[in-house]
Amino acid sequence: MYSVLAARSRRLSVIAIALLALSALLWSLSSLTAQARADGPGSGAPWTASLGDSYISGEAGRWAGNTNMSSSTIDALGSTAYDDNAAGNGELISGCHRSKAAEVSIGGGVSGENLACSGAKTSTFSEGSTFKPGIDFYSSGAKEGQALMLQHFAAAHNVKLVALSIGGNNFNFAGIVQTCVEDWLLSPSWWPNYCNDDSSVTSNFTASNVSKVKGEITTAIKNVAQAMTNAGYSSSQYTILVQDYPSPIPLGSGFRYSQSGYTRQEVDGCGFRNNDANYANEKMLPTINSTVFAAASASGLSNVKTMELGSAFNGHRLCEKGVGLLEEQGLSSWKGAGASDKTEWINMIRTITAIFPPYQIQEDIHPTYWGELALRNCLTQAYDSGTPKGGTCTISGTGLNGAGEPNMALH
Check which CATH number belongs to the domain holding 364 and give it.
3.40.50.1110
307-325: b or e for each residue (b if 16 or more CB lie within 10 Å)?
bbbbebbebbbbbbeebbb
Mark whether 93 and 23 lie in a shared domain. no
Write out the residue range of the structural domain in which residue 23 sits.
1-36
pLDDT tens readout for residues 336-393? 999 999 999 999 999 888 889 999 999 999 999 999 999 999 999 999 999 999 999 9
Mark whether 154 and 17 lie in a shared domain. no
DSSP-assigned letter for residue 163: E
Mark whether 349 and 243 lie in a shared domain. yes
Confidence (pLDDT) at 38: 66
Say if CB 229 and CB 162 are below 8 A apart.
Answer: no
Element (H, E) at 126: strand 125-127
Q: Where is average pLDDT lowest: 44-53, 109-118, 182-191, 242-251?
A: 182-191
From the number of C-beta atoms within 10 Å of its C-beta (0-12, 13-18, 19+), residue 351 rates as middle
Count of structural domains, the chain: 2
Angle at 328 between CA 327 and CA 333, to 5 degrees: 35
Reply yes or no on whether the pLDDT at 5 is more than 70.
no
Confidence (pLDDT) at 8: 44
How far apart (Å, rounded) are the C-alpha atoms in residues 92 and 94? Answer: 6
pLDDT tens readout for residues 18-27? 444 444 444 4
Mark whether 19 and 66 lie in a shared domain. no
Mark whether 281 and 308 lie in a shared domain. yes
Reply yes or no on whether the pLDDT at 403 is more than 60.
yes
Say if CB 61 and CB 50 are below 8 A apart.
Answer: no
Mark whether 274 and 139 lie in a shared domain. yes
Mark whether 15 and 55 lie in a shared domain. no
Mark whether 24 and 106 lie in a shared domain. no
pLDDT confidence tier of residue 128, bands split at 50, 70 and 90:
confident
Confidence (pLDDT) at 4: 37
How far apart (Å, rounded) are the C-alpha atoms in residues 156 and 39? Answer: 5
